[in-house]
Amino acid sequence: MNLGPDLDEITLTGLRAAAFHGVLEEERRTGQVFVIDVTVFLDLAAAAARDDLAQTIHYGDLAAEIVAAVESDPVDLIETVAERVAAVVLAHDAARVTRVTIHKPSAPIAVPFADVAVTITRANRPRSVAAGFGLNP
């Protein structure tokens, strides 16, 4: 998705977290691995011009925060987990919009499958950026 020349992207792909989310008792008891993909849309121009980490988001720290959020407090739905991750990302001042995908490759489905995933897109600010995604921040 191209948001124009003023927004850039940081992408984390394939983060893994062991957690106990799910509707079924077995999922809550034994847990499973969840895979998380996150894209953060932000303006990286100042960080690049000044070579200044404080002007961007430290992706190592962000990855640890995301995994911690996924591994905490079991819930029924991966939709809820995705919202939790989006909130973690958008808590960073530099983040304007985020796209979060939560994969549940071991979901209890009775037919053969490769993956189950939920993807959400959420905006923090400003309204003009959110409007480009069809969102109301």
Residue 100 contacts residue 80 (beta carbons within 8 Å): no
Our answer to whether residue 104 is catalytic in this structure is yes
Q: Which of 92, 99, 103, 104 is catalytic?
A: 104
DSSP 103-128: E-TT---SS--S--EEEEEEE-S-HH
Q: Which helix (H) or strand (E) holds 130?
A: helix 127-132
CA distance 29 to 108: 13
Short-list 71, 96, 92, 97, CA closest to 18: 71
The catalytic residues are: 104
